[in-house]
Amino acid sequence: MLKDVDLCLKEGETLAIVGPSGSGKTTLLGLCAGLDDASAGSVELDGQAIESLDQDARAALRNRLVGFVFQSFQLIPTLTAIENVLVPLELRGESGQGAEAERLLTEVGLGDRLDHYPLQLSGGEQQRVALARAFIHRPKILFADEPTGNLDSGTSGPIVEMLFRLNREAGTALVLVTHDPALAAKARRVVTMSGGTIVSEEENAIF
Protein backbone atom coordinates (compact mmCIF):
# COMPACT_ATOMS: atom_id res chain seq x y z
CA MET A 1 0.00 0.00 0.00
CA LEU A 2 1.43 3.40 -0.97
CA LYS A 3 0.36 6.70 0.53
CA ASP A 4 1.15 10.32 -0.32
CA VAL A 5 3.93 9.49 -2.70
CA ASP A 6 4.95 12.44 -4.87
CA LEU A 7 7.95 11.91 -7.05
CA CYS A 8 9.29 13.45 -10.24
CA LEU A 9 12.23 12.34 -12.36
CA LYS A 10 13.87 14.38 -15.10
CA GLU A 11 15.44 13.10 -18.30
CA GLY A 12 18.77 11.38 -17.75
CA GLU A 13 18.41 11.62 -13.97
CA THR A 14 19.25 8.71 -11.64
CA LEU A 15 17.12 7.83 -8.64
CA ALA A 16 17.58 5.14 -6.04
CA ILE A 17 14.65 3.96 -3.92
CA VAL A 18 15.75 2.38 -0.67
CA GLY A 19 13.97 1.15 2.40
CA PRO A 20 13.27 -1.98 4.44
CA SER A 21 11.44 -4.98 3.02
CA GLY A 22 7.72 -4.34 2.67
CA SER A 23 8.20 -0.57 2.59
CA GLY A 24 6.63 -0.38 -0.90
CA LYS A 25 9.74 0.07 -3.07
CA THR A 26 8.85 -2.57 -5.66
CA THR A 27 5.20 -1.53 -5.61
CA LEU A 28 6.25 2.01 -6.43
CA LEU A 29 8.49 0.80 -9.22
CA GLY A 30 5.69 -1.37 -10.64
CA LEU A 31 3.31 1.60 -10.60
CA CYS A 32 5.83 3.92 -12.23
CA ALA A 33 6.41 1.43 -15.05
CA GLY A 34 2.73 0.83 -15.56
CA LEU A 35 3.01 -2.77 -14.45
CA ASP A 36 0.38 -2.36 -11.74
CA ASP A 37 -2.72 -0.25 -11.30
CA ALA A 38 -2.94 2.39 -8.60
CA SER A 39 -6.25 2.58 -6.75
CA ALA A 40 -5.86 6.39 -6.57
CA GLY A 41 -3.50 9.05 -7.81
CA SER A 42 -1.74 9.53 -11.11
CA VAL A 43 1.49 8.35 -12.75
CA GLU A 44 2.82 10.24 -15.76
CA LEU A 45 5.46 8.84 -18.02
CA ASP A 46 6.88 11.18 -20.62
CA GLY A 47 3.82 13.38 -20.20
CA GLN A 48 1.30 10.57 -20.53
CA ALA A 49 -1.00 9.61 -17.64
CA ILE A 50 -0.59 5.84 -17.37
CA GLU A 51 -3.90 5.26 -15.63
CA SER A 52 -5.73 6.69 -18.61
CA LEU A 53 -4.22 4.05 -20.89
CA ASP A 54 -5.45 0.52 -21.35
CA GLN A 55 -3.08 -2.39 -20.85
CA ASP A 56 -2.02 -2.57 -24.49
CA ALA A 57 -1.36 1.17 -24.70
CA ARG A 58 0.74 0.88 -21.56
CA ALA A 59 2.65 -2.00 -23.10
CA ALA A 60 3.28 0.12 -26.20
CA LEU A 61 4.47 2.97 -24.01
CA ARG A 62 6.84 0.67 -22.14
CA ASN A 63 8.17 -0.67 -25.39
CA ARG A 64 8.87 2.85 -26.60
CA LEU A 65 10.21 4.44 -23.43
CA VAL A 66 11.05 1.89 -20.76
CA GLY A 67 13.82 -0.60 -20.08
CA PHE A 68 13.85 -3.12 -17.23
CA VAL A 69 16.43 -4.94 -15.17
CA PHE A 70 15.06 -7.37 -12.59
CA GLN A 71 16.53 -9.00 -9.52
CA SER A 72 15.76 -12.44 -10.97
CA PHE A 73 16.94 -11.43 -14.46
CA GLN A 74 13.65 -12.43 -16.13
CA LEU A 75 15.12 -13.73 -19.33
CA ILE A 76 12.89 -15.87 -21.51
CA PRO A 77 14.29 -19.35 -20.91
CA THR A 78 13.52 -20.64 -24.39
CA LEU A 79 15.37 -17.84 -26.19
CA THR A 80 19.13 -17.57 -26.67
CA ALA A 81 21.02 -14.58 -25.30
CA ILE A 82 20.86 -12.65 -28.57
CA GLU A 83 17.21 -13.51 -29.12
CA ASN A 84 16.38 -12.28 -25.63
CA VAL A 85 18.13 -8.99 -26.36
CA LEU A 86 16.28 -8.57 -29.64
CA VAL A 87 12.77 -9.07 -28.22
CA PRO A 88 12.03 -5.35 -27.50
CA LEU A 89 13.02 -4.43 -31.06
CA GLU A 90 11.05 -7.29 -32.55
CA LEU A 91 8.05 -6.13 -30.58
CA ARG A 92 8.49 -2.73 -32.23
CA GLY A 93 8.42 -4.49 -35.56
CA GLU A 94 12.06 -3.72 -36.25
CA SER A 95 14.09 -6.35 -38.00
CA GLY A 96 17.72 -6.55 -39.08
CA GLN A 97 19.08 -5.44 -35.70
CA GLY A 98 21.19 -8.52 -35.01
CA ALA A 99 24.43 -6.57 -35.35
CA GLU A 100 23.33 -4.01 -32.74
CA ALA A 101 22.37 -6.77 -30.34
CA GLU A 102 25.69 -8.46 -30.91
CA ARG A 103 27.51 -5.17 -30.30
CA LEU A 104 25.68 -4.66 -27.02
CA LEU A 105 26.32 -8.20 -25.86
CA THR A 106 29.98 -7.82 -26.75
CA GLU A 107 30.00 -4.58 -24.80
CA VAL A 108 28.74 -6.40 -21.70
CA GLY A 109 31.36 -9.09 -22.26
CA LEU A 110 29.21 -11.82 -23.78
CA GLY A 111 30.32 -11.63 -27.40
CA ASP A 112 31.18 -15.31 -27.32
CA ARG A 113 27.94 -16.45 -25.70
CA LEU A 114 25.37 -15.10 -28.10
CA ASP A 115 23.64 -18.38 -28.73
CA HIS A 116 23.59 -19.64 -25.18
CA TYR A 117 20.30 -20.21 -23.40
CA PRO A 118 19.74 -18.58 -19.99
CA LEU A 119 20.13 -21.92 -18.21
CA GLN A 120 23.59 -22.24 -19.75
CA LEU A 121 24.67 -18.87 -18.31
CA SER A 122 25.71 -17.92 -14.78
CA GLY A 123 23.68 -15.43 -12.76
CA GLY A 124 26.05 -12.58 -13.58
CA GLU A 125 25.97 -13.44 -17.27
CA GLN A 126 22.20 -13.59 -17.26
CA GLN A 127 22.04 -10.14 -15.69
CA ARG A 128 24.41 -8.81 -18.35
CA VAL A 129 22.10 -10.18 -21.06
CA ALA A 130 19.26 -8.42 -19.24
CA LEU A 131 21.28 -5.18 -19.31
CA ALA A 132 21.86 -5.48 -23.04
CA ARG A 133 18.15 -6.13 -23.52
CA ALA A 134 17.28 -3.11 -21.37
CA PHE A 135 19.29 -0.77 -23.58
CA ILE A 136 18.77 -2.24 -27.06
CA HIS A 137 15.77 -0.07 -27.86
CA ARG A 138 17.30 3.07 -26.28
CA PRO A 139 14.66 3.65 -23.62
CA LYS A 140 14.15 7.04 -22.03
CA ILE A 141 13.92 5.50 -18.58
CA LEU A 142 15.29 2.33 -17.08
CA PHE A 143 13.73 0.62 -14.07
CA ALA A 144 16.03 -1.68 -12.16
CA ASP A 145 14.60 -3.79 -9.34
CA GLU A 146 17.41 -4.98 -7.06
CA PRO A 147 19.67 -5.54 -10.10
CA THR A 148 22.40 -7.05 -7.95
CA GLY A 149 20.18 -8.70 -5.38
CA ASN A 150 20.87 -12.19 -6.72
CA LEU A 151 24.57 -11.67 -7.36
CA ASP A 152 27.66 -11.84 -5.19
CA SER A 153 29.78 -8.76 -4.70
CA GLY A 154 32.40 -9.92 -7.18
CA THR A 155 29.83 -10.29 -9.94
CA SER A 156 27.69 -7.34 -9.05
CA GLY A 157 30.49 -4.75 -9.28
CA PRO A 158 30.94 -4.93 -13.05
CA ILE A 159 27.16 -5.10 -13.54
CA VAL A 160 26.63 -1.88 -11.62
CA GLU A 161 29.41 -0.24 -13.51
CA MET A 162 27.92 -1.29 -16.83
CA LEU A 163 24.45 -0.16 -15.73
CA PHE A 164 25.60 3.34 -14.97
CA ARG A 165 27.92 3.55 -18.00
CA LEU A 166 25.21 2.52 -20.44
CA ASN A 167 22.83 4.84 -18.68
CA ARG A 168 25.25 7.73 -19.04
CA GLU A 169 26.06 7.00 -22.67
CA ALA A 170 22.45 6.63 -23.69
CA GLY A 171 21.23 9.54 -21.59
CA THR A 172 18.62 7.31 -19.99
CA ALA A 173 16.89 8.15 -16.73
CA LEU A 174 17.40 5.41 -14.14
CA VAL A 175 15.19 4.28 -11.28
CA LEU A 176 16.88 1.79 -8.98
CA VAL A 177 15.25 -0.17 -6.21
CA THR A 178 17.88 -1.52 -3.84
CA HIS A 179 18.79 -2.54 -0.35
CA ASP A 180 22.43 -1.90 -1.07
CA PRO A 181 23.55 1.51 0.28
CA ALA A 182 26.69 1.42 -1.89
CA LEU A 183 24.59 0.99 -5.01
CA ALA A 184 22.13 3.67 -3.88
CA ALA A 185 25.02 6.00 -3.35
CA LYS A 186 25.79 5.90 -7.05
CA ALA A 187 22.45 7.52 -7.89
CA ARG A 188 22.03 11.31 -7.92
CA ARG A 189 18.89 11.21 -5.80
CA VAL A 190 18.03 8.72 -3.08
CA VAL A 191 14.48 8.29 -1.83
CA THR A 192 13.91 6.34 1.37
CA MET A 193 10.59 4.61 1.86
CA SER A 194 8.93 3.17 4.93
CA GLY A 195 5.40 1.91 5.45
CA GLY A 196 4.38 2.80 1.92
CA THR A 197 5.44 6.42 2.05
CA ILE A 198 8.53 8.45 1.25
CA VAL A 199 10.21 9.35 4.50
CA SER A 200 13.27 11.17 3.14
CA GLU A 201 14.91 12.30 -0.06
CA GLU A 202 18.51 13.26 -0.51
CA GLU A 203 20.85 14.20 -3.30
CA ASN A 204 24.27 12.67 -3.51
CA ALA A 205 27.09 15.13 -3.63
CA ILE A 206 29.05 13.31 -6.29
CA PHE A 207 26.80 14.59 -9.09
Partner 1 sequence: MPSSKKKPLPRSLWTALFHPWVWRMAWRDSRSQRLRLVIFSLAIVSGIAALTAIHSLKTSVERGIESEAKSLLGSDLRVSSRKEITPEEVDRLAEMASRVSREISFPSMMRFLPEKGARLMQVRGIEGGYPFYGKVETRPVEAWERLQKEGGVLVEPSILDQFSVAVGDRVELGGIQLEILGVVDKPAPRGSRFSGFAPEAYVNLVDIERSGLLGKNSMAGYQVHLEIPDAPGSRELKGKVLEGFPDTRWRMETPENRRENLGKALDFFQKFLGLIALASLALGAIGVAGAVHAHVTRRIQTVGILRCLGCPGNLAFGVYFAQAIALGLLGALIGAGLGICMQTGLLAALGDKLPVSVRPTPEWLVVGQTTAMGFAVCCGFALLPLMKIREISPAVTLRSGATLKGSFLRALPVYGLLLGLLLMVAYGNDPSWKEAFAMVGGMVVAFLVLVGVARGLMAMSRRVVSVRWPYMIRQGISNLHRPGNQTLLFLLSLGLGTFLLVTILSAGKLLNNRLSLQQSEESPNLYLIDVQPDQVAGVKALLAGEELPVLEATPMVTMRIQSIRGVEVGDLKDVPRWVGRREFRSTYRDQLNFTETLIAGELATERADIEDIVPLSLEEKIARDMKVSIGDEITMDVQGIPIRTKVTSIRRVDWSRFNLNFFMVFPPGVLEEAPGFNVVTTRTPTPEASGDLQRKLAGKFANVTVIDLTQILEMIRDILVKISTGVTIMVGFTVLAGLPILIGTLLNGRDVRLKESVLLRTLGASAKQVRRILVIEYATLGFLTALTGVLLAVAANAALATSVFDASPWPDAMLLFTVFGAVMGISVLGGLALSRGVTSHPPLEILRGGS
Q: Which residues bind to partner 1, rule: CB under 8 A?
A: 26, 29-30, 33-36, 55-56, 59-64, 66, 68, 70, 72, 74-79, 83, 87-97, 99-100, 119, 133, 138, 145
Closer CB to partner 1, residue 100 or residue 125?
100
| End-to-end Cα distance, the chain | 32
Closer CB to partner 1, residue 52 or residue 200?
52
Q: How many whole angstroms separate alpha carbon 93 and alpha carbon 125?
A: 27
> At 131, phi and psi to the nearest 5?
-65, -45
Residues 6+ positions from 85 with CB-CB distance below 8 Å: 101, 104, 105, 129, 132, 133, 136
Closer CB to partner 1, residue 28 or residue 198?
28
Instruction: Output the CA–CA distances (angstroms, integers) from residue 113 to 101, 117, 121, in the order listed.
Output: 12, 9, 8
Quick one: DSSP state of residue 29? H
Smallest distance, partner 1 to C-beta of residue 202, A: 25
Closer CB to partner 1, residue 173 or residue 188?
173
Closest by Cα among 16, 42, 38 to 143: 16
Smallest distance, partner 1 to C-beta of residue 119, A: 7
Counting Cα atoms < 13 Å in the Cβ hemisphere of 140 gives 12
Residues 6+ positions from 3 with CB-CB distance below 8 Å: 195, 196, 197
Smallest distance, partner 1 to C-beta of residue 70, A: 6
Smallest distance, partner 1 to C-beta of residue 90, A: 6
Residues 6+ positions from 111 with CB-CB distance below 8 Å: 102, 105
Closer CB to partner 1, residue 12 or residue 204?
12
Smallest distance, partner 1 to C-beta of residue 93, A: 4
Smallest distance, partner 1 to C-beta of residue 138, A: 6
Closer CB to partner 1, residue 126 or residue 156?
126
